[in-house]
Structures are given as C-alpha cells and as structure tokens.
Amino acid sequence: MDRIREARWTTLVGLCVNLALTAVKYAAAFFGGSSAMVADATHSLSDLLTDFVVYFGLKAAGKPPDSSHPYGHGKIEALLAALCGFSLLIAAGGIFLSGARSIVNSLSGAEQARPGVVALSAAFLSVVVKELLYHYTISRGRRLESSALIAKAWDHRSDAFSSVGTLAGIAGAIFLGERWTVLDPLAAVIVSFFIAKAALPILRDSLDELIEASLPEELVLRLESAILSVEQVKSFHKLRSRRIGSAVAVDVHIQMDGDLSLSEAHEVSRLVERELRALFGGDAYIYLHMEPADCSRD
C-alpha cells in the first residue's frame, strides 16, 4: 500500500468512527440533557468535517509532479493540517461561549437541569474510543511523515481530552446534587482551553511549511554535517531548506578544490547527494551548485 493510499485509509477509519461517535453523542446530549455533551458532540462534528476534507485532500496531495507543479502537490497536506487547526480553534470558541453562557445563567438563579446517566456513559465511551483512535492515527502519521495525519491524530486526542472534562463535569452534576449542576457547563468551558491548546502547535507547524520556513535547527545541523562528511568538500554557503509535504527540499552551493576536473566535481556532487538522500529519503529535492573554494560568495 503506497503512502497516500495508507494515509487516506487511516483517515477513512477515523471518519467512520467519528460519524458513529458524533451520532451517539448528540443522541446522548438530547436524552441526557447535558450542555457539556452538546459541546463534546459539536467538537466531534468538527472532527468529522475535517476528516472529509483530509480524506479527499490527500488524494490531491498524492498527485505526481507535473508541468504546472514541478515540486508536486505536497503542500496540500500542510494546508489540510492548517484547516484542522483552524477548525479546532473555532470549535473551542463555540464551546467556550456556550458553556460560559450556561454558567452565567446558572449563577443568575436560572435552574440548570441535571444531566442523565446516558450522557455519562457516552462521555466514557468517547474517552476510550478517541484515545485508541489517537494512537492508531499518530503511529501511522509519524511513519508516513504526514503532517495532515499527525494533525488529525491530535484532533482525536483533543476530543478525548474534551470527553474527559465532559465525563468529570457530568459525573459531578449527577452525583453531587442540585447545587453542583453548574459543573456540567463548567466542564465544557475548561475543555475549550484544552482544545485551543492542541490547535496552536498544529497551526504553527502547518503555517511554517506554507510560508516555507527553514527546517528545524537540529535537522539543519545534521544536514550541514552530512555535507561536510564528504572529504572533497571544503565548505558550503547559501544553504536553504524547506519542507514540501513529507519531502524535504535543499538548495546549497558546495565549494571544493578548483583544480578538480568536471568529472571529479560531478562525482563529489553525487557523493553529497547520496549523503543527503540517506538523511532525508529518496523523495528529497536536492539542488547542488558546485564552485571552486576560492569563488566569491556574492
């Protein structure tokens, strides 16, 4: 199974699970009378929508390079990850406003309905299922080096966190008496912060790729070491690196002895390229400019 097909299959599994879980949560919220469960179900609905976006978007990301897109379509993955991050922030804002409104009403003397046991059961089910789905998705996302899948995995875990808060709030509202029914919407508000916290690193990483930020410093140091590991390389400059989906692109000027023949210089470039592909994989985009060591750096 190729990379894109496996990534789409992983997303499809999450999509089916989210579809069933969203239906269960909304039903439990209706029959259990829980505002926290409504918030939790809405979070799952946002997961479901991004599942659809990622599933169909990964197909486009997997298209090979063409005349209009010589670097391929890998950045679609970063765009999908950004959409997941934005959807999480929007869901967090909606959950916060809904929960805060219920808390204000409760403190103003409005009667807050006590949630039912069915809502508690649904919250427990959600915690277990979403945590399992997180581990399933994150393992494949890291193996496939898919930013979209990794973002989806954290989407699943944020839903698990959401359900933990929902579970605690509903349990407190049920078992601690009428005075504590405010715990139900309070749980929804607390959960909204966890969701927002999960969204921010996803947005940061995906936007870094979209604006073509350099690779992380640790990876750049390994890149520099790989270049200098070739004996004939005297130095290098004008090093640029970026990520394109799961692939890495490197542009660098390699400096060597000016007395080398064209064939010898070509062999040096082949050795450097081999080292870089060993580090970044065979699908890396590597562009080397060879020049004498005493050449101007302008």
Q: Are residues 205 and 275 in the same domain?
A: no
Q: Are residues 9 and 104 in the same domain?
A: yes
**271: containing domain:** 217-292
Give me the CATH number covering residue 275.
3.30.70.1350
Say if 101 falls within a structural domain: yes
Distance, in Å, from the CA atom of 131 to the CA atom of 209, rounded to the nearest integer, reads 27
CA angle 229, 238, 298 (to 5 degrees): 125
Residue 111 exposed, middle or buried by CB count within 10 Å (0-12, 13-18, 19+): exposed
Q: Give the residue from 210, 231, 256 where a domain finishes.
A: 210
Q: Give the residue from 188, 210, 232 where a domain finishes.
A: 210
DSSP classification of residue 149: H
CA angle 83, 281, 57 (to 5 degrees): 25
Q: Are 290 and 280 in contact (CB under 8 A)?
A: no
Q: Give the residue from 178, 210, 242 where a domain finishes.
A: 210
127-157 CB burial, b ≥16 within 10 A, e <16: bebbbebbebbbebbeebbbbbbbbbbbbbb
Strand 285-292's sheet: what is its strand order? 233-244, 247-256, 285-292
Say if 59 falls within a structural domain: yes
Q: Are 96 and 192 in contact (CB under 8 A)?
A: yes
Q: Are 231 and 266 in contact (CB under 8 A)?
A: no
Q: Are residues 84 and 26 in the same domain?
A: yes
pLDDT at residue number 239:
92
pLDDT at residue number 246:
66
Distance, in Å, from the CA atom of 24 to the CA atom of 107, rounded to the nearest integer, reads 30
Number of domains in the chain: 2
Which residues, in sequence order, are bridge partners of residue 235? 255
Q: Are residues 143 and 105 in the same domain?
A: yes
45 contacts: CB under 8 Å, gap ≥ 6: 22
* pLDDT digits (tens), the chain, 298 positions: 577 788 888 989 989 998 999 899 899 888 887 777 877 787 787 778 778 777 777 776 667 777 777 777 777 777 877 887 887 788 788 778 877 887 887 777 666 666 778 888 888 998 999 999 999 999 998 888 787 788 888 888 877 877 887 787 788 777 876 677 777 778 778 878 877 887 888 788 888 878 777 888 888 999 999 999 988 888 899 999 888 876 788 999 999 888 888 888 899 899 999 999 988 887 788 999 988 877 555 5
Which residues, in sequence order, are bridge partners of residue 289? 253
